[in-house]
Structure 1
Amino acid sequence: MNQLDALKQFTTVVADTGDFHQLAAYAPQDATTNPSLILKAVQKPEYAPLLADAVAKHGAQGKDEVMNRLLVAFGCEILKHIPGRVSTEVDARLSFDTEATVARARRIIELFAVEGVGKDRVLIKMASTWEGIQAAAQLEREGIHCNLTLLFSFAQAVACGQAKVQLISPFVGRIYDWYKKNAGAAWDEAAMAEANDPGVQSVRAIYNFYKKHGIATEVMGASFRNVGQITALAGCDLLTISPDLLSKLAANEAPLPQALDAAAAQAMDIPLVTHDEASFRFAMNEDAMATEKLAEGIRAFVVDTHKLEAMMG
């Protein structure tokens, strides 16, 4: 059995791509997209017609509507190739506006419904800012399920659990990047690999906290830099993995043991933590890594959104 098949025994595998032609090879349950992945895809000849069609039919309604239509078009194509859910991202420029995020999410769900896709097959993605988490809480009460992304801290995970969001995407690789960059020449790659990787440790702490306290929010590790980060989180609820790393798992026949276990977490001594807005903002302020990576992630998605809009003419 290869490692991809072994991983699927205790973790739901999600494809992290906007390239729906790659999905069949790895048979993932779900798929995730973001502005960067969509931008990359529409620059390929086989996907350019999706953008051209959205502009031709809806250009007169403005770029926001063209973007919504493009995201839904990609989502619908992806859903033809997977049995589960697609995550579709709200404009990152709305990351600090709860009401606008809610309105945009409702519009995306409406457009999926027009295409015959029920809201049970869509997760609305938004950044794990305080405002984004509050938007998700409101949407969840309306039956619109959310994927809270750009999540780097325990405080963000705690607030998402309190908001009863469907799923969170803690970013393993970007946490790893920050610690490696800050350590500079002192970084010991071998000593900080797999279970000692700071990104892996972050996800493990969140997973164990949720399982200990009966928090139903799904944990989906994301943003992987190497196979070792993935195998160290085998047993996590879901893992969203790029096609490149999926292929490496599929080519590896080495044993893959389960690393995370809900029953084991329930036996751990983990205190319950809660946050209100003030304590959340203070916890984020105390966490330089999370604050910097959240801001950097939002800025990067905004840059790629601008590039997509430029391609709309």
Structure 2
Amino acid sequence: MENAQINLLDYLRARTQVDLDTFDVHVTREVEQCVDCTSNQQYEYYTELVKQSRRDVLNHAIELAANMHERFPTVPREELTVEIGAILLAMEARPFVTGNMHLMVNPNYAYNQRQTVDAAKRLHRLFHDLDPSFDASRLVLKIAATWEGLQACRELRYSRIQTLATTLFTMEQAILAGEAGCVSISPFVHELKEIFTPSYTGSDPLLPLCVQAQRWFQQQSWPTKVKACATIGLNEILQLAGVAALTLVPDDLKLLQSSHKPADEVQSLSLFSDASALQDQLVYPSYIDDEAGYRMAFARAEEGRAQLKLGQAINIFCDFQTKAEQLVRDARRRDV
């Protein structure tokens, strides 16, 4: 029965942790239960809060921010409101996943270690205040994989705050994230712009990076997991069967759930099936205490293209953060 037709979602789940990339509670009810749930400034904080059907969440966030602002006087009211709104959305989605909830730290702090640490600690405190029953060990904060961001992850580890290194495109970032103690990394298989602009053609998909990073973490006996994201099409997803985790948008989950293919065809696609290659020893330098060495190595990665990808992704996230904060301003004016 080697060529028997198998369900693609069942096949993937047997080899990889499947996570959900949405805080849309209506969608979470439609897909089979996933492990972790994640969000960021563009998929949720703005896209969800701007919906008319989410006006109650936005208004509640505005009200809570007004009442709590005196506890965070240095944080702009709009920024605090967006953070609270994200937590309220996470609280709604939580019953539909079994694992961790992921929230992204304000990307405007991507190049400021101190502000990143402060914002991460604030999100932890806010989540506890808004939902005291929530187990803080299930909260993971997504932080941009800049030098400053990853040093913030290193600092947050000592406060027992879990972090995920996002906007990751190179092994240099992966190595530093592992050394910093991130619980996971999210390699972007495609540039973020390519996901939202079909006419834009980026560089080749970074599927091999996912394999290489996972091999490195295993070789070093580090607990950091590879949580790949930003895939395009079913073939790329099936090629990543065997990665520690995959973050998938609802449309891809539904397509996997409704698709069947011959078992041998599907199994031959995985990049993680070559046992001999996985045994090869990798050699990389340490970066955790070598800022100059890291910055030079990252600047040279992909002949400089990695820096452009990182900057592009952070800019896109910052744009949506700005839109979300403007949404709050507009809503407050309407209520005056």
TM-score where L is the length of structure 2: 0.83
- 2:228 is aligned to 221
| CA displacement at 1:44 relative to structure 2 | 2.5
| CA displacement at 1:43 relative to structure 2 | 2.5
Using the aligned pairs only, state the percent identity: 25
The equivalent position to 1:155 in structure 2, one of 150, 172, 176, is 172
Q: Alpha carbon RMSD of aligned pairs, Å?
A: 2.1
| CA displacement at 1:286 relative to structure 2 | 0.7
Aligned pairs for 1:190-269 within 5 A: 198-254=205-261, 255=263, 256-257=266-267, 259-260=271-272, 267-269=279-281
Check whether the contact 2:191–2:313 (CA below 8 A) recurs between aligned residues: no
- 1:3 is aligned to 8
- 1:14 is aligned to 19
| CA displacement at 1:244 relative to structure 2 | 1.1
- 1:56 is aligned to 63
The equivalent position to 1:270 in structure 2, one of 277, 282, 303, is 282
Measured at CA, do residues 264 and 107 of structure 1 come closer, stay the same or move farther in structure 2, by a change above 3 Å? farther
- Per-residue Cα deviation, 1:100-153 (whole angstroms, up to 9, x for no partner): 111111111111112121221110011000000011111112111001100011
Measured at CA, do residues 263 and 272 of structure 1 come closer, stay the same or move farther in structure 2, by a change above 3 Å? farther
- Per-residue Cα deviation, 1:254-279 (whole angstroms, up to 9, x for no partner): 13425426976662121243222111
Q: Which 5+ residue runs of structure 2 have no aligned equivalent?
A: 1-5, 70-76, 330-336
**Stretches of 4+ aligned residues off by more than 4 angstroms:** 175-178, 261-266
Quote the Cα distance in structure 1 between the aligned partners of 2:158 and 2:183: 11
Check whether the contact 1:213–1:272 (CA below 8 A) recurs between aligned residues: no
Check whether the contact 1:152–1:175 (CA below 8 A) recurs between aligned residues: no
- 1:34 is aligned to 40
Measured at CA, do residues 216 and 228 of structure 1 come closer, stay the same or move farther in structure 2, by a change above 3 Å? same
Comparing 253-262 and 57-66, the one that deviates more: 253-262
The equivalent position to 2:299 in structure 1, one of 285, 288, 313, is 285
| CA displacement at 1:182 relative to structure 2 | 6.1
TM-score where L is the length of structure 1: 0.89
Quote the Cα distance in structure 1 between the aligned partners of 2:253 and 2:80: 33
Quote the Cα distance in structure 2 between the aligned partners of 1:270 and 1:31: 32
- Per-residue Cα deviation, 1:29-65 (whole angstroms, up to 9, x for no partner): 1111000012111232332321121113324731222
Measured at CA, do residues 263 and 213 of structure 1 come closer, stay the same or move farther in structure 2, by a change above 3 Å? farther
Quote the Cα distance in structure 2 between the aligned partners of 1:136 and 1:262: 33
Q: Whose Rg is larger? A: 2
- 2:313 is aligned to 297
Aligned pairs for 1:128-207 within 5 A: 128-174=145-191, 177=194, 181=201, 198-207=205-214
